[in-house]
Amino acid sequence: MKESKHTMSFTFPKTDNKPKPAPKPKQEEKIEIQTWDKEPFHAGKEERINDNSADQFIPKPDKVIDFTKKFGQKKSGREPFWDDGNRSLSPKLPPHGRKNKFRIQALPWAVVAAVFSAIVVGLGLGVVMYQMIIQDHATQGLSAEPAIPATAAMQDTVAFPTIHMDVIQGAAFSEKEKGEQVVLETQQQGLPAVLTTGEETQYMFMGIANDQSKAQALGQLINDRGQEVYVKTYTVDGGETSIEGESAANWFSSAHATLVHLSEITSAQLINEGTTTLNQEQMETVTTSLDQLKEARDRAFSQIGDTAMPFALSMSDELHLAGQKLVEYNQNKDATYLWESQQALLQALVMYEQTVYAIRK
């Protein structure tokens, strides 16, 4: 059996052997960066503002703050006050060169001269009056001082006086024996010296005055004689007593006034170096008050008790001795009597302190 041959025919489409061109890349859209100093929207896209899409958060042009413009305005305000041609505002004067709104009108020279002349004349008259008063006080002594009262005025409460005196202190001692030795040596040199009776510290006083200015001047006299001193105010507290002690309280009040008066006279005479004297009226006032104190002391001291009586009697004697030394100075013009009177006044002050201490016991 013959094999039959079968044939198949294929038809291929015509092909172009030319290379195909590469596909063109897609052109990307440019991204536009929106800033607040430019228009953020195009005219063709205004309809998107009314759309309820996610782009609604973009602020509208009328609500955008241009910080660049604000910074430029602020910077232009800090330009120098001169006009350099680049400034938009007119130049201004610096703060210290501007005119004040309120100006004080200049006073006429005649008024100014009259005011200064009145001031100068017033000061000159004041100095002259002050010198006249000081000179009159130095030449006439202490005649203007009121008389020392013989007895103290009646008070609602009966009390012993509290004494404040300016004293010149020379030293302080913790041991009484050492203090007594220095006091004795000082007295041998012709200077007053007493030792207080403190329980822990004893002080050596070398002068007494009625005010600080006299005490300073008196301390300088002692310092010139080789003794270092300083001034302080010494206080002896009095205190109330029973009604039965009225006579004693009155006596000590009068004694206090006498102590102040005598300390003023003796310190002033020492400072003036004996150039002034006391008149007869002044000396009679001193002696009369001392005599009255001596006559009234027996009745007054009978009310203070036996313990305090010896100290009170010693105080009275020291005051009387101070007055006698003052009379001797006025007769002999020897400053030694003034220092001795100061010694007696210091002793009287210490005795009053002992009297008050004994009464309180």
pTM for the model stands at: 0.58
Fold of 160-360: A middle domain of Talin 1 (1.20.1420)
Measured CA to CA, the distance from residue 305 to residue 288 in angstroms comes to 27
At residue 80, the pLDDT reads 52
Q: Is the distance from CB of 171 to CB of 204 less than 8 angstroms?
A: yes
Does position 245 have pLDDT exceeding 60, yes or no? yes
The reported pLDDT for the residue numbered 125 is: 75
Residue 38 has pLDDT above 50, yes or no: no
Q: Are strands 202-209 and 163-173 parallel, antiparallel or unpaired?
A: antiparallel
* Listed range (111-115, 300-304, 354-358) with the worst mean pLDDT: 111-115
Q: Is the pLDDT of residue 144 over 50?
A: no
Asked if residue 313 lies in contact with residue 297, where contact means CB atoms within 8 angstroms, the answer is: yes
Closest CA to 210 of 252, 269, 154, 283: 269
Is there a contact between 204 and 182 (Cβ–Cβ < 8 Å)?
A: yes
pLDDT at 296: 92
Q: Pick the more confident residue, 298 or 59.
A: 298
More confident residue, 192 or 359: 192
Q: What is the mean pLDDT of the chain?
A: 75
CB 228 within 8 A of CB 186: no
Which three-class secondary structure state does DSSP give residue 22?
coil
Residue 200: per-residue pLDDT: 79
Instruction: Pinpoint the alpha helices (H) of 165-245.
Output: 176-188, 212-224
* Structural tokens at position 139: 């030449």
Q: What angle do CA 85, 87, 93 make, to 5 degrees?
A: 100
Give the pLDDT confidence score for residue 187 in this predicted structure: 93
- Each residue's pLDDT tens digit, 304-349: 889 999 999 999 999 999 999 999 998 888 899 999 999 999 999 9
Q: Measured on CA atoms in the order 174, 307, 322, 208, is the torsion positive or negative?
A: positive
Average pLDDT over residues 48-55: 50
Of 60-64, 178-182, 242-246, minimum mean pLDDT range:
60-64
Instruction: Please report, for the chain, the start and end positions of each structural domain, with discontinuous segments joined by +.
Output: 160-360
Pair of tokens at residue 96:
């210290």
Evaluate whether 322 touches 266 at the Cβ level (below 8 Å): yes
Q: Looking at the predicted structure, is the pLDDT value of residue 153 above 50?
A: no
pLDDT grade for 23, boundaries at 50, 70 and 90: low
Q: Is 94 in a helix, a strand, or coil?
A: coil
Range name among 212-221, 232-241, 332-341 with the lowest pLDDT average: 232-241
As a whole number of angstroms, the distance between CA 330 and CA 325 comes to: 9
Going by C-alpha positions, the residue among 317, 322, 336 that lies closest to residue 260 is: 322
pLDDT tens across 59-89, in order? 555 556 666 776 666 665 555 544 455 555 5
According to the 3-state scheme, what is the secondary structure of 24-81?
A: CCCCCCCCCCCCCCCCCCCHHHHHHCCCCCHHHHCCCHHHCCCHHHHHHHHHHCCCCC
Number of DSSP helices (H) and strands (E) in the chain, helices first: 8, 6
Please state, in angstroms and rounded to a whole number, the distance separating the CA atoms of residues 319 and 255: 8
pLDDT for residue 152 is more than 50: no
Buried/exposed 339-355: b ≥16 CB within 10 Å, e otherwise: bbbbbbbbbbbbbbbbb
